[in-house]
Amino acid sequence: MTHSHQNRTPGTEGERHVQAVLGTTDRADRFYRDQMLDHLNPLMRDFVARQEMVFVATSDARGECDSSFRAGPPGFVHVVDDRTLVYPEYRGNGVFASAGNILENPHIGLMFLDFERERIGLHVNGRVKIMEDETLRPHVPGLPLPQVPGQRAQMWMMVQVEEAYIHCRKHIPHLRRVGAEESWGTDDALRKGGDYFGAREGRRATAGTGPW
């Protein structure tokens, strides 16, 4: 989906084509009209402030896509106002796939899913700008401070909201919290998952075995 500009109906040409083929145009129009906003209303703002995770979608200048996951204490995604939110980028694997994509293509898609309480989701799409902590913090009262000693945001992602809409609960599983075992900021390889999927060993095993 794309932002509905003045004198333009919501949805991409691709969306509209599939809707026409499958006969869902009227149903889609009702959704665009009744469920899609170009800002965060009070209920959406409260919902975001309670969330401890968000899924992030970006793509580079060629349209090559990447999806990622961010987590933190409630409020780590900070709502600045009804059209702006920010979230921190902490030290990770050093790849910065999302940040790299954003430098080439500022479009971003965020998916908030509450598996525990409301069992509902919220899509937030928009454009993002990378901000340094020392530049952003003086202008955003209440910007969260690190929860782990020594942790600091290497940068902030400032998202200008263009679309916000519900993700229905029909297929969202109801999960139960079993304990607080988060390892925010750890460098322990095993606690981070190590080589869980065997990529390193697999690369070693196949080195030199190509077809040429």
Alpha-carbon distance of 73 to 184, in angstroms, equals 10
Per the prediction, the chain carries an average pLDDT of 87
pTM over 0.85: no
For 118, the token pair is 């409301």
Taking phi over 0 as left and psi of -120 to 50 as alpha, with beta for the rest, 174 belongs to beta
- As a whole number, mean pLDDT of residues 63-79 equals 94
**pLDDT attached to residue 127:** 98
pLDDT in tens, 22-70: 999 999 999 999 999 999 999 999 999 999 999 999 999 999 999 999 9
Q: How many CB atoms lie within 10 A of CB 156?
A: 22
**pLDDT attached to residue 183:** 61
142 vs 111, higher pLDDT: 111
